[in-house]
């Protein structure tokens, strides 16, 4: 696992910063699927959010271990992501961003995913 030292550095920096003064959360996830052509995909993730107000207002790090296989073919990869989200629960206005670094089969890939939403009209009014 090539990320082990880098992951520990970032997680220790995250925990060593203002984590104890801020609301924070930690968790993980698991996903697995197999299709009719015997392609198997498995992901295990762990995350630490150093600024956690609620599900739609959070900032932190997520580590994901990917495993893919089909018959005799196998690939694995590791990904580290900075995740941040700030969405108003009443209007659903706000933003979501993820910046990641994926390592798989001696390849490095920088990933960016972001979205922004803003309501321009107050509403549609009464609908009959």
Q: 78 Cβ partners below 8 Å, 6+ apart?
A: 1, 2, 3, 63, 64, 65, 66, 102, 103, 104
Average pLDDT of the chain?
A: 84
The answer on pLDDT for 70 being more than 90 is yes
Domain boundaries, the chain: 4-117
Distance between CA atoms of residues 7 and 63, nearest Å:
8
Q: From residue 27, give the alpha-carbon distance in Å to each of 8, 63, 66, 125.
A: 16, 11, 17, 41
Predicted local distance difference test score (pLDDT) of residue 122: 66
The mean pLDDT of 82-104, rounded to a whole number, is 93
Q: How many other C-beta atoms lie within 10 A of the C-beta of residue 14?
A: 18
- 62/45 Cα distance (integer angstroms): 7
**Partners of 63 in beta bridges:** 46, 80
Strand pairing category for 25-34 and 107-117: unpaired
pLDDT of residue 19: 46
> pTM for the whole thing?
0.71
Sort strands 39-54 and 107-117 into parallel, antiparallel or unpaired. Answer: unpaired
Looking at residue 51, what is its pLDDT?
Answer: 84
pLDDT per residue as tens digits for the range 7-48: 555 555 555 555 455 678 889 999 999 999 999 999 999 999
Q: Supply angle C-alpha 51, 28, 24, rounded to 5.
A: 20
């Amino acid at each position: 696992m090539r990320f082990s030292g880098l992951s520990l550095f970032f997680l220790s920096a995250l925990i060593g910063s203002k984590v104890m003064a801020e609301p924070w959360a930690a968790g993980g996830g698991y996903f697995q699927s197999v299709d009719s052509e015997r392609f198997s995909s498995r992901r295990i993730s762990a995350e630490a959010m150093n600024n956690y107000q609620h599900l739609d207002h959070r900032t932190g790090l997520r580590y994901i271990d990917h495993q893919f296989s089909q018959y005799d073919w196998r690939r694995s990869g590791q990904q580290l992501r900075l995740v941040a989200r700030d969405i108003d629960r009443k209007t659903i206005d706000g933003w979501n961003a993820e910046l990641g670094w994926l390592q798989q089969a001696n390849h490095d890939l920088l990933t960016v995913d972001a979205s922004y939403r803003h309501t321009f009209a107050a509403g549609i009014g009464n609908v009959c």
